[in-house]
Amino acid sequence: MKLFFSLSFLLISLIGFSQENWTLIYENDAEGNTVSGTLDELISVIRKGETVRIYFQMGRQNESNVYVEHTAQVQYFTIMNSPKGQWVTAQIDPIIGQIPDFEKEQVLLKENLEWSLIAATNGKNDTMTRNVITGEILGHQIHKWGTKWYVEKK
């Protein structure tokens, strides 16, 4: 019986969290240029309250074949309208910090560390790390990378 529930949970998880349930609606490069879709389409699904997920890669500057890939559910959007144009930012829930160890082929959690992200269609992504015990900000930087923006199929 335990095996049945475990297999059922696994099957439901695979169906519920499959990338097949998501459609790429917009993609920007590290400079904020449109790669696919339109910014108007992304803004339209945000205004309708659709569920959006982002995908991005973070890599070593001098080793293009060494990188990590991340997918996260967006929790908070901002649509920016300025004299220089329009862009979107997406904030995710903070996560426990982690360190990818490529040589040992593992990812380790960082104790007492929280990582926050605001991804942006203009390529200027804001990251911050904070010690959750002391509240001290340990790092706060703008990183440039491209982002893929997915909307959940209904």
Task: Write down the domain spans for the chain.
Answer: 23-152
- Positions of the chain with pLDDT under 50: 1-17
Q: What is the pLDDT of residue 103?
A: 86
Strand runs (DSSP E) across 61-145, as ranges? 63-73, 76-82, 85-91, 95-101, 106-120, 124-131, 137-144
At 32-75, the pLDDT tens digits run 999 999 999 999 999 999 999 999 998 777 777 888 899 999 99
Distance between CA atoms of 140 and 36, rounded to whole angstroms? 29
Q: What is the pLDDT of residue 65?
A: 84
Distance between CA atoms of 148 and 4, rounded to whole angstroms? 36
Q: What is the pLDDT of residue 67?
A: 85
Q: Could you tell me what percent of the chain has a pLDDT over 90?
A: 71
